[in-house]
Structure 1
Amino acid sequence: MALQQLNAPSHAQSGIPATVPPSGVAHQRHRHTDKFTVIGNHLAQHEEMSLVALGLGVYIQSLPDGVNVGIKSLAARFQEGEVTIAKGLRQLEAYGYLSRTRERTPQGRWVTRTVAYDMPQAVIQQPTAPKPMPTRKPTPTPSVAPAPAPATTSAPANTRSPARTPSPAPPLPEPGHPDLTRHRTATEILAGLRRHDPRLVLSERDVRRLAGAVSAWLERGIESAAVQRTLTGLLPQDPIHSPAALLAHRLTTLLPPPLPAVPARPRVVPLQNCDRCDHAFRAPEPGNCPGCRETDGPPVEGPPVEGEFDPRS
């Protein structure tokens, strides 16, 4: 009988250190000396953002300044479509990791300024330096104390001014004289805008609400093609979240003034040829000229013509 080897291992060695947990992910750490990015766990382990937003946030923070991170550029870089990427960017904006503002360059071109924040809370909680208190010159003490002001005119020192409420949006233009044909043309213009830009999809309710404003443009002599160019030209490159609000703003602020009234042309009396002297004169109806009418006397009664009935007989 062979002797039992007491020093043989009971199972094969796996090479995993004993400190590794028996389940879950195990990390093999490596110290990076170049080409690395420090990402906070508040972003990498965010509990409310989607995986697309987390991936976009990590990717954007790893890029150097000046790289284009627009929706079209990101869609060309990754397999996700523009709609999915736009949703992820909006989540990053909602939680303070990204800000996008539209600015106009001195050359008149609109550009989008994008700023990425690796620690949004640090930006929000950043203390501001206190403003220095203005120094006041000492006022001389009057010899006679002034009369106290009425209690109704004085206000407490800690009274705050009321918050300013945003001004309501201006009303949509309406036609002065409603016309069924113009209203039908306005409805066709609004419903067909999505053929020129798929982002301009309007509901039936929006079309009914904006048809009166388009009719006001048509009533003022603007051609249908010109109204369409005004509503679809120079649209922003970013996604249009409310096409109805954008169109209402353009129809209200860009409304052209009505055409000035054209004065009525004076009525010209036509020329007539006199039935008696054949001279030309102006009169509304044919006949004799004024000179011939003045020389005309009363009709002369002559003897009856042979064969004509004579009432005197």
Structure 2
Amino acid sequence: MTDKQPSAPARAKTRHSSGVTHVNEPHHDNFTVVGNHLAQHSELSLVAIGLALHIQSLPKGTPIGIKVLAAKFPEGEIRIAAALRELEEHGYLARPRERLQSGQVTTRTISYNRPRAVVAAAAPATPKPEAVPKAPAPSGKGKATELLAGLRAHDSRLLLTERDVIRLAPAVSEWLERGVPPTAVVRTLTTGLPQDPIKHPAAFLQHRLTAQLPPRLPAAPPRPALYRPSPLQTCDGCERAFRAPHPGRCRDCRTCAEAA
């Protein structure tokens, strides 16, 4: 009878993965904190992500012009200029143009560690002051009825019933819509009244409103189209401001490139 050999211990199963393995050491100085919204941005190119990381790591006041960046990295001015435009479009960079006291236009660069759209969405909404309710403006028909009802103050013979006021209101509204001031309408209806008693004031006013109706004002001539200059752009070569319909290079930089 043979002795039973003890079974060998089972080997630990190892899992092989092709994914990344992190070896993280803590940083105590000389480091920059970057959000995953930038590091893992799905719409930015890797050049733009790397350039944003570099810009955020620089001290305040460090020049980051296109020529300065091209002298540091191998991408070249064209790729760096395109990456800067990507960062502008996604809210990580702003390059506002400012006019100096000398009259020269310069470009100021602002770097955002969070996109401006995300910051605006996270900010609490500012409560709007309660609007003071305004009294509703009287409509054209309301003005017409008020005008007709007030004619008796000019001459008691122009006393109208409520039914007559409602019936004549559209005719007065037509005068008002043609640009005649209410005072001119009242003057037309109350000037040169006959000396005899007015037996039917509504019919009398109806006749004047119809017979003396002025023509409509002619249409105003169209305004000439205003000339709008092209927007200011930042030159991809020298970063000076120039006017052009699309981003690119200024005339001097284009001339130098053609000569080269």
TM-score by length of 2: 0.47
TM-score by length of 1: 0.40
Asked which structure has the greater RCO (Cα within 8 Å, sep 6+), the reply is 2
**Which structure's CA Rg is the greater one?**
1
Higher helix share: 2
